[in-house]
Amino acid sequence: MKKIVLTSIATFCITILSFAQATLPAIWGFPTTTLPTGFSSVGTFAYYSGSGNPAPAAKFGATGTILTVAFVGTPGTISYDLVGNPPPSSTWAGTFRVEESVNGTVWTTVGTDYTTLPTTYTTYTHALLSASRFVRFNFVTHSVGNVGLDNVNITVGVSTVQQINVQQSATTIVNGGTYTLSSPVSTLLPTTFAVQNTGTVGTLNISGVTITGPAAADYTVSSFPATVAPTASGNMVINFTPSVAGTRIAAINIASNDPTNPTYIVNLYGVGGTLATEPTTQATSMIFSTIKSFHFNVAFTAASGSPDGYIVLRRTGSPITDIPVDGTVYQRGDVIGNSKVFYSSTATAFYPNDIYANTTYYFAVFTYNGPGTFRNYNTTTPLMGNQTSAGSMQPATYYNTVNTSSATFVTDLHNKINPHTIEYYSNYGPKMVSKFFARDTTGDQRVITCVYSGENKVYTEPFDWTTSNFSREHTYCHSWMPTVNNSPDNTAFPEYNDYHMLTPTNQIQVNGIRSNYPLGEVVGTPISSYLGSKLGYDAAGHKVFEPRDSDKGDAARCMMYEATCYTGVAYSGAPNTNCVYGGSWALPSYISSTIPYGQDQDVLKRWNYLDPPSNVEIARNDYVDSIQGNRNPFIDSMQYACYIDFSTMTKIAGTPAPCNTASVADHDMNNDIIILAPNPNNGNFTAYYSSSQEQKVTVRLFDVMGRVVYSDIIKVNIGNNPMEMQLQDLNKGIYLFEFTTQHGKQNVKLMID
């Protein structure tokens, strides 16, 4: 089992805080995404649950990616495991270097550069210079693939000359580290520190111990050893008598003949009473930038007076009124009232996750002082801000070459989304789960939802598919693909790796049950079920898999996308003889001898309208577009599905009515589509406005007497625009929505039950 050999202690009155140097031995096997004391990273450094020795491991994916270890004490050797992860059908290429440094500025290569790497994890060991205090792993040049790093181990070396080390209760306080203590006002607290000589030859001579800092008068040096023999230790006693309540900062300065650390500093964070001094100021000027449907950046100006840190709360729906409680240290994902903690640290910029389209997010920033149970929050007039994420980011001219009235409509739509940038199945975890699907939950954990069943899986990063019992589901089954039997590796093909079609699902209770059955609607008693998903027989007596209602439209659009994106794509080798197709990449009409029927496209088209694209799906479409460089057109325009026969992948002649007329607006001179879902409803529903352009829309709702009972003017963007409606005061009955633009009017019935 991997573990961190880096320790700290905590008592009621005394704690030692982490510092930016590791004590030796420093061992890190990357079991979580939180780097231990002394480890820091820059560049596109990620965690990878798919490999390791054992998994997970660190993953270096680009030039300039660096992992640095800063440590205190004389090092012995360094060992680590490396692997070169090539993309499919290729070989890893690049330059990877391990370096050491005395001062963190001038670096020397440890061993030789790695320009070739094995395809399985291999252990390397090197001796380090006794004077080195830094080691870094540097991806100097990235060419093809990525580098996996695991099991970093820097051992303790032997110093022959005298060398100072300071401990309290057997825990090392590194030079420049911080020690926290508290005592009631005017009450003396003596604290004993062990001053060690870790050298094997020379005697450590202590020439003096002094106290400096703003509250130095609250501390006195009771005693210290003048000399410490090799490998021995002596006691140093410091008295703390706080003169007033609150924060009392000082520092111990130990002068010695240690050639490396002639002045050894232990910072003292003293607290008089039970809480640190409350900050007097708050942060200012919250600024939002890079506003997209799936993310944005937030930064603010630091508070004057240099508080110890900031806690950031977030929520949707309304401004934040919740406040943190003094004496409590919150972790990311913890809940305070109706708000959630986004982070608690010294950072003045952050990148919120779990961002979806057309949604307003509220933030509150509070300053604080003090560690642990001494933490004191300033809850008066915190810095507040809010930002609405972008709507659909569909480019205005993206579909200019696509026209539903054209005989080449299917081909034109295919050409618009294929070819595109190929991503890889193995990268789905760090790219899609970590950066899009994962949400914060209590205790600095994350949660991901099975799209088919609605199961919420709580985990500690990094996400691991096997231990979480989750998989990357091919909504359009891999076994249905014409290229499934191609050699040498059909899993390297873009159709297998397409992120528009892959979704996270529970493996055993859901994905394994779905197998390669078509999607459909179960009637009667299901054969099996798991939360919102079930397997059973449809009205025609065919065994089908039915996902939860909120995923039906999503799944339909995934399947229609896959068929359209790859229709007509040539393949070599052995074609898929397990399915019979009406056309290349059409939905199967015959799956196998045990499933002698296919996927009903009418079910998918109905789901497409009954479950229109949500803000989450719109954001996902934009996010995958940012990675692959192509979009799912059926999310951008649900009407496209009406013009394609997915059993032959040919255009349907004529101009059909929408695939499902219930709750859909009457056809108008423009191409806008309006859907109310659910309909009927109790007054809480969503109006989905799919717009052909950015424009203003006048909305009016009439009752059966022709009276206007609701009106508004809204601004819509290109693509889908979900609008949450709350009209609970309406009486039961039939109403008529009127949507007016410069191009004309559209009407849609609303039923309140």
Question: pLDDT tens digits for 742-751?
Answer: 777 788 888 8
d(CA 553, CA 695): 26
Q: Is the pLDDT of residue 423 over 50?
A: yes
Question: pLDDT tens digits for 110-129?
Answer: 999 999 999 899 999 999 99
CA distances from 79 to 29, 60, 136, 246 (A): 11, 18, 12, 45
In this structure, the strands spanning 93-101 and 108-109 are antiparallel
Peptide bond into 547 cis (omega under 30): no
Confidence of residue 158 (pLDDT cuts 50, 70, 90): confident
User: Diameter of the chain by CA atoms?
Assistant: 101
Question: pLDDT tens digits for 174-191?
Answer: 888 899 999 999 999 999
Helices 549-566 and 601-610: angle between axes, nearest 10 degrees: 120
Q: Is the pLDDT of residue 3 over 50?
A: no
Q: Is the pLDDT of residue 267 over 50?
A: yes
Q: What secondary structure letter does DSSP report for 202?
A: S
d(CA 461, CA 464): 8
Average pLDDT over residues 263-282: 97
Of residues 29 and 216, the one with the higher pLDDT is: 216
Average pLDDT over residues 316-334: 96
Residue 679 contacts residue 662 (beta carbons within 8 Å): yes
pLDDT at position 131, please?
A: 85
Mean pLDDT of the chain: 89
Return the structure tokens found at 228: 């410490």
Percent above pLDDT 70 for the chain = 92
Q: Among 20-29, 73-82, 155-164, where is mean pLDDT lowest?
A: 20-29
Residue 54's nearest CA partner among 354, 329, 464, 375 is: 464
Question: pLDDT tens digits for 32-47?
Answer: 777 888 888 887 677 7
Number of neighbours of residue 320 by Cβ within 10 angstroms: 21
Average pLDDT over residues 61-67: 89
Question: pLDDT tens digits for 630-670?
Answer: 999 999 988 899 899 998 899 987 555 455 444 444 444 45
Residue 623 contacts residue 730 (beta carbons within 8 Å): no
C-alpha dihedral sign at 348, 349, 353, 357: positive
CA-CA-CA-CA torsion for 249, 254, 259, 261, nearest 10 degrees?
-20
Architecture (CATH level 2) of domain 14-156: Sandwich (2.60)
Q: Is the pLDDT of residue 15 over 50?
A: no
Q: Is the pLDDT of residue 457 over 90?
A: yes
Q: Is the pLDDT of residue 464 over 50?
A: yes
pLDDT at position 625, please?
A: 98
CA distances from 749 to 174, 312, 608, 670 (A): 71, 44, 19, 19
d(CA 37, CA 23): 8
Of residues 745 and 474, the one with the higher pLDDT is: 474
The radius of gyration of the chain from alpha carbons, rounded to an integer in Å, stands at 31
Q: Is the pLDDT of residue 483 over 70?
A: yes
Q: Is the pLDDT of residue 13 over 80?
A: no
Average pLDDT over residues 315-335: 96
Helix (H) / strand (E) element for 22: namely strand 22-23
d(CA 607, CA 617): 14
Percent above pLDDT 90 for the chain = 61
Question: pLDDT tens digits for 499-550?
Answer: 999 999 999 999 999 999 999 999 999 999 999 999 999 999 999 999 999 9
The residue count for the chain:
753
Cα angle: 593, vertex 594, 598; to 5 degrees: 80
Residue 305 contacts residue 279 (beta carbons within 8 Å): yes
Measure CA 29 to chain center.
21
Interior/surface letters 29-57, b for 16+ CB within 10 angstroms, e for the rest: bbbebebebbbebebbbbbbbbbbbebbb
Of residues 692 and 737, the one with the higher pLDDT is: 737
Number of neighbours of residue 689 by Cβ within 10 angstroms: 24
pLDDT at position 378, please?
A: 98
d(CA 247, CA 240): 12
- Give the best-scoring range by mean pLDDT among 58-62, 324-328, 573-577, 722-726: 324-328
CATH code given to domain 673-752: 2.60.40.2550
Write out the DSSP string of 425-437.
GGGHIIIIIIIII
Q: Where do the H-state alpha helices sit in 180-299?
A: none
Question: pLDDT tens digits for 139-150?
Answer: 999 888 889 999
Residue 483 contacts residue 495 (beta carbons within 8 Å): yes
CATH superfamily of 284-388: Immunoglobulins (2.60.40.10)
Question: pLDDT tens digits for 670-729?
Answer: 567 888 888 888 888 888 888 878 888 888 888 777 677 888 888 888 888 888 888 888
Q: Do the domains at 14-156 and 284-388 have one common CATH topology?
A: no
Question: pLDDT tens digits for 227-247?
Answer: 999 999 999 999 999 999 999
Q: Per CATH, which fold does 164-272 belong to? A: Immunoglobulin-like (2.60.40)
Of residues 41 and 362, the one with the higher pLDDT is: 362
Q: What is the domain partition of the chain in residue ranges?
A: 14-156, 164-272, 284-388, 409-651, 673-752
Return the structure tokens found at 400: 């200019």
